Structures are given as structure tokens and as C-alpha cells.
A and B are shown apart, each in its own frame.
Chain A
């Protein structure tokens, strides 16, 4: 084969994955799950973290391994306000200092471990990660959702899923991915826009379910939705959804967040809260909430099947109907860059509207054919 022919073949550039974890707020789960007076283990950021609630009600997060001899603090006990190591009973406070070694005359001055700053937002525990060790930036916390956690909304239905063999950027790519809503989630995306600005990245989408499919939260002839999904930082998305099923409109809030666990693995967490439709009894409301939880949960599993089998691509080849994958990744890069080295184009406002006309013409014809072949 000649050299010319060889160079016509496009190669996938797999690139190298980052050696660091993103700077920003990461959600560890519902705050209530950590409030039982016991230590909890969270795998994240290449280590294991210990989470516990002290007597003041404050949730603390420390590196999970004791600085004495490496004992696993997540298997220890809460004693007073401190976490006690199961190996030699060294007691660590939420400020990261060793408070007491019961068998020792004094605590070594250097007995400090890594602590992570926390915040509770929307009933969820968030944790600040920064490889540069900066103080947590509370100005960029995700917003509080008005009336969620009141009796106007169903309580969070919370789910956890471990993903192996993928970097969490695969999950982020979805923000700019119009066409996968047809192929993976079985919906026609009729309108699709993105805005990236500062630490936020938003996807606005309107879609109509495919009549030839019924799996997942987006499919089905009778279902249309308006979706606005914003990442607040690298790992926490709020998705406001208006789901119209046979003319009955329900407001659904979906939280999609993750914790990186290793260079090519992460833990996906998602939670769903449904605005209780007025005039319906509690049983019906709960039934509706469960149905939406199940169907959007299935939607995530549709993505997971793709992620677990695809390869990393630094040089995606795009067509005119695709969303702004390169600009989205440029935005995402800010969280893997030292603050002093963030470039303006990573955070400058960028707007993109996808032309969905041609794609929908083709897709409607394809679906009509699928239905005719039944």
C-alpha cells in the first residue's frame, strides 16, 4: 500500500488521561445517609474517604487512612466528635488534626491528615476537591432548589452506579451530544442548544419520544419533554425537566453527579424529585414519581452500556449536525488546570444552536419505516 493511501485513513487519538482529579464541588450522596453516628466509606479521588457526622450535626470528610500506621478509619468508630482508628484508637477530628492518642503522653505535632471542606445543598453532601489545596469556593456551589424537600415535591429517590473502564469526561460529553438522544435514548431532539460560561455548561433540549421504542425516560409517542440541564462545576448537574405525557405535564428534577474513583473509573449518582401534581392522592403521586425514577434511571443505563464499551477519543470527527464537543471539552479543561493557568477561552461565554432539521427529517422517515415493517 502506498504512503498516500495510508495517510487517508483516519486514526483515533486516544491521548493520555489526566493525572489529577477535577477541582470543584463533588456530591457524595444524600446528607441523611451519613447521619447515623457511624463512619461511612466513599471511594473517590484515587483513595478512600471517611465521612461521619459529629455531635454538632456537622458532616466531616477525611482521607480514610490513619496517618499512624495506615489503619482504615471507615472501619473505626465515632468517639465523641472524632473518628477513632480500629488499629490503635488514634482519634481524628473533622479539622484533620489528631485530637487524642489514649495510650500516649502527647500527640505528635505533625499529626494532621487530609480534610475536605463540605457543604450541604438540597439535602446532599458536597465536598470540595482541589489538587492545589485552595480553600473551598462557596460562591460556585450549585443553587438551592426552591421548595424541593418540602411536601410540594417527592423526596429524593437516590441511586448509585459504579462505572469502570471510562473516564468521567465521557459523561460530560453528553452535554453537547444531540444525536445520541435518538439512537441511545430513543427520542427525536427537536431543539438543541448549549451555553458554556464560567463554571457552568448548559444544554437546552426539547424532544419527542420515538413511537417505535418504549425503553427509558425519553421514548414513546405520547411523551414530549423540555429539558434544561446545567453542570455547576465539573461533577454536579441539575436537570429541570417538563415531561408531557398525553397532555399531563409533570415537573421532574434530576440530579446527575459523579465522583471520580480512578484514572478510568467513576461512581455515578443520580437523584430524582417530582413536583407533586395537584389534585392527586398520595398513592398516585408516588406511583408517578416511581415511574419517572425508573424510566430516567433506565436512561442512564442506556448511556452506561455505551461508555463501558467505547474507547477514549481526543480527536472526534464531527459532522454539521453534531453539537460543540470541542468547545465543551475546552470548558471542562478548566477544572484540570491550575487556577493561574486557566485560559480565557475556557470560561468565556459560548453559545451554540444545533440545526436539527435534516436529522429529524431522516429520523422520522426511518421510524415510519420501522413501524411499517412491524
Chain B
């Protein structure tokens, strides 16, 4: 059963825009992880993982086994791969109307 039910169909479309629109696939240059990325500016980055991608990332797997708090930090190899995708023009930097 759903909760926090929106009362307007437009709200569902907004949920889609903010969570799914303009995501671009980026494959890690060092492992088999493939994630979806959006960059609204040089400093802003959204990274949407899947369970398969997390399982393919040796860095995140190693950290989750260690159980320590720094497991929360991003994977530096993936971040470098995203930088490369930006440099190649695969990921375009810029926002639409706030999303």
C-alpha cells in the first residue's frame, strides 16, 4: 500500500523529473560497475547505483566488509571515471529548470 499519496498527477511527473530525468550511463573505467549520472554544475553530482553495480565495485565491497564509517565515502575510481566522461562530453554539465 502506498503512503504519502500525492493528490495530483502532476506531482508524479515531478517525482520522475527530479529522480530520473537526464541521467546518463557511465561505466567505471576500472571495474564492471555501471551507474547513472547527472551533473547540474561543476561541483554538483548525482550518482544512481544499482545493486549489481555496487556488487561489481571492489572498493565499496571492501569497505562494507570492514564495517567502518568511511564506507560511506564515494569510490574515487568511479569519480575519476565520471570526470573522464565529462571531459569526453558524454556527461553534459548544466541544469534544466531546477532538476
Give the interface size bracket for A toward B.
35 or more
| B residues in contact with A169, CB < 8 Å | 4
Name the A residues within 8 Å of B72 (CB-CB): 195, 202, 204, 228, 230
- A314, B3: Cβ atoms closer than 8 Å: no
> What band does the interface of chain B fall in when counting residues whose beta carbon is under 8 Å from A?
35 or more
Q: Is A18 an interface residue (CB 8 A)?
A: yes
Would you call A330 an interface residue if the criterion is a C-beta within 8 Å of the partner chain's C-beta atoms?
Answer: yes
- Chain A 237-279 interface mask (CB, 8 Å, partner B; 1/0): 0001000000000000000000000000000000000000000
Flag if B15 contacts A326 (CB, 8 Å): yes
Interface-located stretch among B24-32, B35-43, B84-92: B35-43
A348 in complex: contacting residue of B1, B11, B14, B48, CB < 8 Å: B48
Also in contact, A352 and B3, with CB within 8 A (given A15-B11, A318-B98, A320-B40) = no
The 8 A CB mask of B33-62 against A (1 = contact, 0 = none) is 000000011111111111101100000100
A336-374 interface bits toward B, Cβ cutoff 8 Å, 1 = contact, 0 = none: 111001001100111111111100000000000000000
- B42 near A338 with CB under 8 A, answer no
* Residues of chain B lying within 8 A (CB to CB) of residue A354: 44
Interface residues, chain B, CB within 8 Å of chain A?
1-8, 10-11, 14-15, 18-19, 40-51, 53-54, 60, 69, 72, 74, 95, 98-99
Q: A344-B50, A357-B43 are in contact. Are A315 and B99 (CB under 8 A)?
A: no
Answer whether residue A227 sits at the interface, using C-beta atoms and an 8 A cutoff: no
Q: Is the CB of A348 within 8 A of B49?
A: yes
Question: Counting chain A CB atoms within 10 Å of each CB, which of B3, B14, B41, B60 scores highest?
Answer: B3
Chain A residues with CB under 8 A of B3: 17-20, 333, 336-337
Is there contact, CB below 8 Å, between B10 and A338?
Answer: no
Question: B45 contacts which of A315, A326, A352 (Cβ < 8 Å)?
Answer: A352
* A240 and B98 form a contact (CB under 8 A): no
Interface presence of A302 (CB below 8 A): no
